[in-house]
Chains A and B, each alone.
Chain A
Amino acid sequence: MFDILDMGASGLTAQRVRLDTIAGNIANINTERDADGKPNPYRRRFVVLAPGEAGNPKLPGVHVQSVQKDMSPLPKRFDPGNPDADKNGYVSYPNVDLAVEFVNALEASRAYEANVTMMDTAKSMFNSSLRLLA
């Protein structure tokens, strides 16, 4: 009963995971080394959303299918003095663009609000139909 609220909740969860990913990208915007300390710049992550639930795409709602790395080329800067420079003197940096991440974060938060509004509308529609019996 009231599947629409379950659908709204799945949308909220998906948008929140998206926002978490974006926050991770922004936090790691200057990370040149990986967890082991080797020069391995952070690659931007993005979420792949798919309809339905994890095992059953026909159900209503949305879910996060996977979180993938963006394999576009890393920007390089000429900095021969940097200990992480390669043999040509270039240092690779994460391929995170702040403008792109901010716009995506804005979109995710608006989508979150839209889901909440939809659930509110569904609840008030139901409450008004209860007045049929009053």
Chain B
Amino acid sequence: MYLDRLLNQGSEPVLEKWLDFTDARERVLGEDIVNASTPNYVQKDLSLPQFQSMLLRKVQQQQTAAPGSVDFGDISMDIQDPRRNILFHDGNNRSMEQLMSDQAKNALQHSLAVELLRDQYSIMETALQEGQK
């Protein structure tokens, strides 16, 4: 019961939520790319600024609360329509360049979050093993 508070400290919950977000967004963008030629398909996206502002509120709560007690679980990720001001004759509002660029950015953010989280866990393991191999 207190062990999960130990693991809920510092930047770990932030990074875990960020990983959840990039995973969910990867799926939504992949669906958009697959449906690039589908008539009357409305493109979907998860809004990064909205996610970041919810995360910021949780981080600010974390600064004044007891260590490990803030629950990051209830950040919701809603699907939105990215208004790209493009409409093709088949009713689709895709922009291939924007989609590929968003997917690349999402993948880079995912790699960054994974590396940072892996680093956090390895430092904890080093501390637990007290420097012995």
Q: Which residue of A lies closest to B112 (CB)?
A: A130
B101, B115, B116, B119 interface centre (most CB from chain A within 10 Å): B101
Whether B108 sits at the interface, judged by CB under 8 Å, is yes
Whether A8 sits at the interface, judged by CB under 8 Å, is yes
In the assembled complex, which residues on chain A have CB atoms less than 8 Å from the CB atom of B27?
none
SS of A interface (majority): helix
Tell me if A1 and B109 are in contact (CB < 8 A). Answer: yes
In the assembled complex, which residues on chain B have CB atoms less than 8 Å from the CB atom of A12?
97, 101
Tell me if B97 and A133 are in contact (CB < 8 A). Answer: no
Interface string of A11-22 (1 = CB under 8 A from B): 011001000000
Q: Please tell me the number of chain A residues within 8 Å of chain B, measured between CB atoms.
A: 16
Q: Which residue of A lies closest to B118 (CB)?
A: A133
In the assembled complex, which residues on chain A have CB atoms less than 8 Å from the CB atom of B101?
5-6, 8-9, 12, 119
Interface string of B49-64 (1 = CB under 8 A from A): 0000000000000000
Whether B105 sits at the interface, judged by CB under 8 Å, is yes
Whether A56 sits at the interface, judged by CB under 8 Å, is no
In residues 15-72 of chain B, which contact A (Cβ within 8 Å)?
none
A13 to B102 alpha-carbon distance, docked (Å): 14
Tell me if A126 and B108 are in contact (CB < 8 A). Answer: yes
In the assembled complex, which residues on chain B have CB atoms less than 8 Å from the CB atom of A119?
101, 104
B interface bracket (residues with beta carbon within 8 Å of A): 10 to 19
Whether B6 sits at the interface, judged by CB under 8 Å, is no
Given contacts A9-B100, A12-B101, A130-B115, 14 further A-B contacts (CB under 8 A): A1-B105, A1-B109, A6-B101, A9-B95, A9-B98, A9-B101, A13-B95, A13-B97, A13-B98, A119-B101, A123-B108, A127-B108, A127-B111, A133-B116
Which residue numbers of A lie inside 8 Å of B, CB to CB?
1-2, 5-6, 8-9, 12-13, 16, 119, 123, 126-127, 130, 133-134
* 30 contacting pairs across A/B (C-beta < 8 A): A1-B105, A1-B109, A2-B105, A5-B101, A5-B104, A5-B105, A5-B108, A6-B101, A6-B105, A8-B101, A9-B95, A9-B97, A9-B98, A9-B100, A12-B101, A13-B95, A13-B98, A16-B97, A119-B101, A123-B104, A123-B108, A126-B112, A127-B108, A130-B111, A130-B112, A130-B115, A133-B115, A133-B118, A133-B119, A134-B115
